[in-house]
Amino acid sequence: MNGTTVFRNLGGQLRTAVLLTLILTALTGLVYPLVLTGVAQLAFPRQANGSLLTANGRVVGSELLGQNFAAPGYFHPRPSAAGADGYDAAASSGSNLGPTNRKLIDQVEERAAAYRAENGLAASAVVPGDAVTASASGLDPHISPANAALQVARVARARGVSEERVRVLVAQQTEGPQWLLFGEPRVNVLRLNLALDALR
């Protein structure tokens, strides 16, 4: 086999490699995402566009992303470790602190004390785990029904409505396990707070 034949074979293989790279790039980088986007827009348009929630004709958030509510008249979400001040969708992450980490233990103790104080609970009251720990994403939009139940009295007092009326809203906004199988019952904080605002 002479040098010309080797060069010709190498050139043919290089052409094939470049052509396959271009074809696969077009298929997996352009065609596939466009087809998936089209199917999602047709089958699940609301979800494909961010599951946005509106109030008074303007977008107030996504039901998939937690946001900070600190006023007494609103239900408060899980703590967030996403970004410097929390709830930063561009910096979604957990704290990555393990259960034996002193920093996490101190954070949980501080959060539990603050939660008890703001909700008028006894110093020995059991606090739900989701009230004192951030989720893995730092943007969990849900709280547990137990967490919501402990906040009812504060919210009702701040809004000047009966606790029973607020409990009914919590019950209406409580979602069961996904597809009746996966996960635990949960309450979407943004949806619940929008329902509270609608009481007026």
- Whether 159 and 200 have beta carbons less than 8 Å apart is answered as no
Of 146 and 1, more confident: 146
Angle of the 145-159 helix axis to the 189-198 helix axis, nearest 10 = 30
**pLDDT tens digits, 8-23:** 777 788 899 999 999 9
Is 60 exceeded by the pLDDT of residue 114? Answer: yes
**pLDDT tens digits, 65-105:** 889 998 999 999 999 888 888 888 888 877 788 889 899 89
Taking residue 63's Cβ as centre, other Cβ atoms within 10 Å add up to 18
Is 70 exceeded by the pLDDT of residue 27? Answer: yes
Nearest-angstrom CA–CA distance, 64 and 41: 17
- The residue with tokens 């739900």 is 128
Q: Which of 194, 196, 189, 200 has its CA nearest to residue 65?
A: 189
Mean pLDDT of the chain: 90
Nearest-angstrom CA–CA distance, 45 and 123: 47
